[in-house]
Amino acid sequence: MKREKIEDYIYVTNVIPSNICDEVINDIEKKDWYPHTWYNSTSNVYVSEETRELDVLSFDTKNHNILVPYVIEAARQYNMEYAYLDTERTNQIMSKFCAIRFNRYSNEQIMRKHYDHIHSIFDGEEKGIPVLSFVGNLNEDYEGGELVFFNGEVKLDLKKGDICMFPSCFMYPHQVYQVTKGKRYSFVTWGY
């Protein structure tokens, strides 16, 4: 299949059953959340913005394990759509993904524009480069909170159970617009 536009590599699939989404939200909402931080590779420092920063919940073993089969299925679909299956060297886009991080957006919270060339994933034991970003959406009973690419040229209103995937590089600047009503629950992980 010929792909002519950069947005052709953004792929959304609905693979997480509604009851699983509800189960995960009910469990993670009871946990201790903290403000999102941005890693600065030059100064080796994590900082949080003073306003509108979303809340995050880092590795949660139970819910990570619940979601792993759905992330694997989404990655399989992406690989079948975009990998060059004709040779062993190009038939697999990624082989692993890092721990799932949960994101919670309350009223007026956002994810500022960025791209996913993440320097802080690996701790020295695992080696790799993030090549595929995953954004999973766990609910849709909120307003606002669209996942947006390329300064608003592409806007995705993800549904409950959707996983959006796209290359983890500078060519895919993205952000999440502010939530204006309710809470948006999602998760992220990166394949390498």
42: which residues sit within 8 A by CB, 6+ positions away? none
Mean pLDDT confidence for 88-106: 93
pLDDT above 80 (res 172):
yes
CB-based burial of residue 23 (10 Å sphere; 0-12 exposed, 13-18 middle, 19+ buried)?
middle
Show me where the domains of the chain are located: 6-33+44-191
CATH class of domain segment(s) 6-33+44-191 = mainly beta
Q: Mean pLDDT: which of 9-23, 88-102, 126-140 is highest?
A: 9-23
Query: What's the predicted TM-score (pTM) here?
Result: 0.92
Q: What is the mean pLDDT of the chain?
A: 92
Q: How far apart are CA 47 and CA 26, in angstroms?
A: 28
Mean pLDDT confidence for 26-47: 86
pLDDT (tens digit per residue) in 133-156: 999 999 999 999 999 999 999 999
What residue type is assigned to position 169 of the chain? C
Residue 178 phi, psi (nearest 5)? -65, 145
pLDDT above 90 (res 2):
no
Percent of the chain with pLDDT over 90: 79
| Poorest-pLDDT segment among 4-8, 127-131, 153-157 | 127-131
